[in-house]
Chains A and B, each alone.
Chain A
Amino acid sequence: GAVVSQHPSWVICKSGTSVKIECRSLDFQATTMFWYRQFPKQSLMLMATSNEGSKATYEQGVEKDKFLINHASLTLSTLTVTSAHPEDSSFYICSARTGQGAINGYQPQHFGDGTRLSIL
């Protein structure tokens, strides 16, 4: 159980294109989803936290108009990289957390497989 599906797994597109990445929880309801960016040989940097039905909370330094996040349902969150440029090329990973099945208040995060974005 607790499967998170992320799509697409790999995107190559021209500079100026907008790219949408989907993150779905397949067998549980995700009250909260997180979006991370990972550059080669670096750590996962949290970009934003999204709660179903409300606006995302962005980390300092992350442009909310550049990285649009929508969490319209308990099983789907999307990240749209608007007008992407080569410096946006990275590995983007989502994770989802359920409000159910918590043990002593700790709710594990389940990660998607990631999306490798390459902007030419």
Chain B
Amino acid sequence: GENVEQHPSTLSVQEGDSAVIKCTYSDSASNYFPWYKQELGKRPQLIIDIRSNVGEKKDQRIAVTLNKTAKHFSLHITETQPEDSAVYFCAASNSRSSASKIIFGSGTRLSIRP
């Protein structure tokens, strides 16, 4: 089955600087890669996603890149703000399968220093 690895587990950056979180996946059939932000005690919220037919996607301060050959994908947050502090999870899914279950990475706790 699919296995998603995520690094780093914790990340602290100065407010205004950029943050990068990296993930790898094992199943070459995976074609959908969402990123979730989870604040303490709350539900995961989808912040951006990318499909395997594109290499990069951007939404304001957030961007994701995908390298299908290497099975790597990354989240980039620019001009970080205090409200970006949260736990971020990458995930992978094969939307073509009947289950299309999403497998999550281990999470990155991002802290923004004022």
How far apart are B80's CB and chain A's nearest CB, in angstroms?
A: 21
Pairwise interchain contact A49-B95, C-beta atoms closer than 8 A: no
Q: How far is the CA of A57 from the CA of B99 in the complex (A)?
A: 9
Pairwise interchain contact A113-B43, C-beta atoms closer than 8 A: yes
Question: With A49-B99, A97-B100 known to touch, is A111 a contact of B32 (CB < 8 Å)?
Answer: no
Number of interface residues of B (CB under 8 A): 23
Pairwise interchain contact B104-A108, C-beta atoms closer than 8 A: no
The B contact surface, by secondary structure, is loop
Question: With A43-B106, A104-B51 known to touch, is A114 a contact of B43 (CB < 8 Å)?
Answer: yes
Tell me the chain B residues, 63-114 only, with Cβ under 8 Å from chain A.
Answer: 89, 95-96, 99-107, 109
The A contact surface, by secondary structure, is strand
Contact with B along A82-120 (1 / 0, CB 8 A): 000000000101010100000011111101111010000
Which B residues are within 8 Å of any A CB, using their own CB? 32, 34, 41-46, 49, 51, 89, 95-96, 99-107, 109
